[in-house]
Amino acid sequence: MSTLRAGLLLAAMTGVFLAAGYLIGAEQGMAIAFVMALGMNAFAYWNSDKMVLSMYGAKQVDAASAPRFYAIIQRLAERAHLPMPKVYVIDNPQPNAFATGRNPENAAVAATTGLLDLLNEREIAGVMGHELAHVRHRDTLIMTITATLAGAIGMLANFAFFFGGRGNDRERPLGGLSSVLVMILAPLAAMLVQMAISRTREYGADEGGAEISGDPEALASALEKLEQGARAVPNREAEANPATAHLFIVNPLHGIGADNLFATHPSTANRIQRLRAMAGQSRRDEHIPPREEDTLPPQSSGPWSPKPRNTRGSVPQAGHR
């Protein structure tokens, strides 16, 4: 049902794009917007993952360059019965992570250096389990195409602002008011649809990530730290490209924290509450505490290797590496 809902929301995003084209240029504008939508969806299907990774300066790592982090992903992928995704690290002090790719066979997961410095192994496994749940649910394609369309709608709004008043108002459905509506309402509608898609998928990925990692309490603890870290440390690339904000596990943008109509993510407090309820139910079912062997054994350190015993990592300060 959630997949059907996400598909309907994606269709709504395409509809907003076509409506904006119609308001700017009537039938001809809508036809041009339709062709653009087809082209951008096709381009996003094949290239959106590369675009997002490049946008954030992500560097691919392997078992030699980041042994601890890579081993966590490898173990989780096996538990989730997924192909091993490509693994990336982003040199950014804000603790955060995302997944991308058109399908599980072409998936990639990325984490920032801020996240790897802040969290312990259990928490990193919880976060990356969440990202692999997005891959398993095929959310990554929907969310990256949504980001592409949202950016395109913003481009149409800019076009309406700079050039909307230069055409023949009588040829447009609402005359000169069309450009104003596109400038104001189209980006707002796109934002609401984009947020609805993100919020629909995040709760499911939390549940799936807890299942994959086997440790809902660790994911809850990680979300607490990530929320604090994201508020304290700015992410310049995300601020410059807000259409990609919904890809991250926590909102990378400043100023939005409540679970309201304009939030890019569900309330972190609500997500944590759900995960801790899952953890409590799991302990009641098993009648045993979390097993020590569920954590990874120590491995040799390497670049971007998480700290194995930093169980109470402090939030990094802005600009600190």
Q: CB–CB of 290/217 below 8 Å?
A: yes
Q: CB–CB of 70/61 below 8 Å?
A: yes
Q: What angle is formed at CA 79 by the lines to CA 281 and CA 252, rounded to 5 degrees?
A: 75
Which residue numbers are catalytic?
131
Instruction: Please give the Cα distance from 71 to 79 (Å, whole number).
Output: 12
Q: How many residues are listed for the chain in this entry? A: 321
Check the CA dihedral 11-14-16-21 and report its sign.
negative
Token duo for residue 202: 């995040």
Instruction: Please give the Cα distance from 103 to 93 (Å, whole number).
Output: 29
- H helices present in 119-259, as ranges: 121-136, 139-163, 177-213, 216-232, 236-240
Please choose, from the candidates 94, 82, 49, 116, the residue with its C-alpha nearest in 3D space to the C-alpha of residue 228: 94
Instruction: Please give the Cα distance from 58 to 109 (Å, whole number).
Output: 10
Check the CA dihedral 123-309-224-141 and report its sign.
negative
Token duo for residue 4: 């059907």
Instruction: Please give the Cα distance from 9 to 7 (Å, whole number).
Output: 5
Instruction: Please give the Cα distance from 132 to 66 (Å, whole number).
Output: 18
Q: Which residues contact 286 (CB under 8 A, 6 or more apart)?
A: none
Whole-number CA gyration radius for the chain: 21
